[in-house]
Amino acid sequence: MYGFSKFYRYPLPLLILSLWLLAVLLLSDQPAHSQHSVISNKEKYQSTLLVKRIMPSTLTENVRKTVLENGLTVLTKEVHTAPVVTVQVWYKVGSRNEEPGVNGIAHQLEHMMFKGTRNRPIQFGRLFSALGSDSNAFTSYDQTAYYGTVERNKLKALLVLEADRMQNSQIEPEQLASEKRVVISELQGYENSPEYRLNRAVMQAVFPNHAYGLPVGGTKADVEKFEVEQVEKYYRNFYNPDNAVLVIVGDFQTANTLETIKETFGKIPRGQEGGRGSRGSRGAEEQRSRGAEEQRSRGESLYSSSPIVLREPGVGRLLQVVYPLPDANQPDVPALDVMDYILTEGRNSRLYQALVESGLASEVTASVTSLRESGWYEVLVTAGSKQDLKKIDSMLSSAIANVAEKGVTSEEVEQAKTQLIADVILSNRDITSQAMRLGTDETTAGDYRYTDRYLADVRLVRPTDVVNVINKYLTKEARTVGFFEPTQKLITEVSDKPDSAQTTENFSPLAPVLPSEVMKYLPPVDLATDAIAQVLPQEFKFTNGLRILLLPDRSTPTVTLSGHIQAGTEFDPDNKAGLAAFVAENLLNGTNNKDVLNIAKVLAERGASLDFQTHREGVHIEGDSLAEDLPILVEVLADVVKNSTFPVKELELHRQQTLTDLQLELDEPSEVARRIFVQSIYPKKHPLHTFPTEESLQQIQRQDVIDFKAKHYRPDTTVLALVGDFDLDKVRSLIKNEFGDWEVSGQAPTLKYPTVSMPEKIVSVNPVLPDKTQAVTYMGYTGINRYDSRFHAALVLNQILGGDTLSSRLGAEVRDRQGLSYGIYSYFQAGKNAGTFLIEMQTSPEDSSKAIASTREILQQIHQQGVTALEVETAKRTLISNYNVSLANPEELTDRILMNEVYGLDKVELHSFTDKIQKVTLDQVNQAARELLHPEQIVVVTAGPSVLAEKNIR
């Protein structure tokens, strides 16, 4: 549910989750394209072009900043494109304010903020769910943030809840003990990752005297020692209005909302002066300098030329290099970000060419992190099979030195600037993301207008600036290097022959969650939802069978493209599993018209993205671009799906990368559990049973790829959906011109899934992954398809059972009350064919058996006793509100339009879905519970450490 943030490539981290990010930059002029035949000064022209493409409008032109008498900073921005609003509270406290011994206390407090207040002694996640709010929280280095996005008529209710927990949160001993177990389970999940462990060791070496060197989430040793008084003191010190920023973006009226804010937050007193002191508040550079002086006085070298080497269980060799950088407000930051794009963004980037194209590495990623007191540049390299880390490190250093010596071209700089700015625009298209940007800028850089200034400075970056920052910061003396050398034998496959064992339980049904308690503490709200504009996509079908759905949306100067091709993993041959993905992932590697580098360059020059992801029932296409670059995006898409040639060199490079990825996946408990879970449900020869193995990937030949592509990539099994700033007729004509000559012959291949019976008894399987610290469990069996008459009732049932990790029956009992799992969810995966019902959870190894038993008790309870009318009404309201909120996100909206067409649903389903949910009755939900929940016929797979093998999973 909650967590701490990771960081994006551009300046100030927007927080994980690929999160949401919706836009606000408005483009005005059309770009000057290649019709300018003679350009005397290319660099000057390209800078002018970039300025025109990225407008005079700004991210913050409609933002109003208000500071209340008690010091609360309020940022409001009206966006009236959809009847939704986001409310976010950002506290200026994070792991930066910690020290060894209390590492992770900010993260622990974030968890406790959901536990209730003196006025509302109830799990706040249940209140947010009842409102239909898409809510969560995260802890980072410089801040802790709480956010929720709802329909606009619930704005005041969110403000009331946030104001309540700003001043009235309770830290109870029993709840702290439970939530500490949850946090430890979360940390154990991170500890499963060699990348996380390596990063922790390197960062401690980079920042030995500053809290930036501590892991954001804390350590198990420190978390175990937290006492109520410590957490309460942190709460009193830092959770005050004068240390907080309230951000509201969406469909509201500023004047009225400010009055409500004064009413709800204005009476909260300021914090005590001087209460926020912390060693982390001192400047990082000052502390590094002080540490350096101490080392020099002892005659020691500040930087070690030897890498930090972790020889620990795991698979895959990793190289991590970290260079210290200045804080976010230093003038070098824009040039550093441009440098990063030149070094690592895309197939044409310098480090990709030096490391991946050469076969030394399977992947190279990097990011610039710019924070309040310091920053760093991190490069992470996953070694290719049997490649030496010292050799890779040497090549990395040589490649960077070569850039510093020979410089970068004007073309590289302008391309990087275009990509960077387009990324900022495309990642800020929804109101949640816009608010995230404002909150991050205000709490990290001290100015919500930071990104505006940053983008203006990016446009001024020149080649000499890039070389200067490389010479200034990316020196061999400044860097800290870490090697991860795995000690265990590589895993080549996981068993597909699970052992079966029957277990029995003496059920003592738990007391059900009382929805009446939720309604008792829910702030007053007009529960009537706002009407969503009934705008439907226009559908067109070409003579070759290609279907397109177009929905113009002028709210942002961008276009989102989603597509579906019926060429998924269900068509993989038994002995060549992985073939479908092999085809999709190599489409961009060359065509009759362009080689791989040309394709990458065409997209990069426009800051556009195009990706193909293989799923069970199809290949999903994802594309984004600025509005004026849609013709380029469509042209590239048409070229690769029609004319891909699959060059031998690129196929072999991809094979090696895929084999390395497979080894890494089979070291992940979640992936191992998922594989064995699926293979325990579906028998051999079933389309869902097969997974790639080293043997199957080695058997795939180029001709197999060509044949699969020719057989399954057809216009009559392809659907495209586009939402964005375009003219309907022009886009229809554009797609017809590019795809109209895509020929089709014969009938499209089809599959009939065999019927799969339920297991006759409980099947328990425990694949052991040595030395992992967290276990992952999958429970379930075969489920329903999208056309099942019980589909909508099943969605309501699932929301009650495990649709939310805090408010559901499973979440309230297993996660919140007992503290057994960091996250627990249930799903009905329903597609064209019968899908899977599953429950997924992560636990400490010692808690797995109890969590599984409690989960089965809840399944039995609902199966036998059903649910209540109030639970059904609450779940329906949550589903409807979440759905309406999702339609305000262009990516989610485009995907919903696409999949409705793929499933053969009427296009009015886009808006009739909520009506169907509303009509679900209590009897229908309880009937679905009797027919779809089977606690005595369930497959249970738990992947994790060997301690589990000694226990009988029940």
Hey, what long-range contacts does 663-666 have (CB within 8 A, 24 or more apart)? Answer: 663/315, 663/316, 663/490, 663/491, 663/492, 664/315, 664/316, 664/382, 666/315, 666/491, 666/492, 666/493, 666/494
DSSP characters for 139-189?
E-SS-EEEEEEEEGGGHHHHHHHHHHHHH-B---HHHHHHHHHHHHHHHHH
- What is the pLDDT, as a whole number, of residue 6? 37
SS3 state at 29: coil
Q: Where are the beta strands (DSSP E) in 19-143?
A: 63-67, 73-78, 84-91, 134-139
Of 528, 529, 523, whose CA–CA distance to 127 is shortest? 523
pTM here is 0.89
Of 521, 660, 654, whose CA–CA distance to 583 is shortest? 654
- Cβ(646)–Cβ(706) below 8 Å: yes
The low-confidence residues of the chain, meaning pLDDT below 50, are 1-2, 4-56, 277-285, 287-303, 496-509, 949-954
- What is the pLDDT, as a whole number, of residue 58? 66
Taking each helix axis from N to C end, the angle separating 596-606 and 410-426, rounded to the nearest 10 degrees, works out to 60
- What is the pLDDT, as a whole number, of residue 280? 41
- Angle formed at CA 16 by CA 15 and CA 18, multiple of 5 degrees: 115
* Run of H or E including 190: helix 173-191
- What is the pLDDT, as a whole number, of residue 253? 95
DSSP characters for 694-722?
HHHHHH--HHHHHHHHHHH--GGGEEEEE
- Cβ(334)–Cβ(454) below 8 Å: yes
Query: Could you give the C-alpha distances from 576 to 663, 862, 864, in angstroms and in order?
Result: 17, 42, 44
- What is the pLDDT, as a whole number, of residue 533? 63
What is the rounded CA–CA span in Å between residue 341 and residue 290?
A: 33
- Cβ(25)–Cβ(452) below 8 Å: no
Hey, what long-range contacts does 869-874 have (CB within 8 A, 24 or more apart)? Answer: 869/922, 870/515, 870/516, 870/519, 871/513, 871/515, 871/800, 872/796, 872/800, 872/920, 872/921, 872/922, 872/925, 874/129, 874/130, 874/515, 874/518
The residues near 891 (Cβ < 8 Å, ≥ 6 apart) are: 429, 560, 562
SS3 state at 910: helix
SS3 state at 600: helix
- What is the pLDDT, as a whole number, of residue 555? 86
What is the rounded CA–CA span in Å between residue 153 and residue 253?
A: 12
Could you report the per-residue pLDDT of 264-275, keeping only the tens digit for each?
A: 999 999 987 655
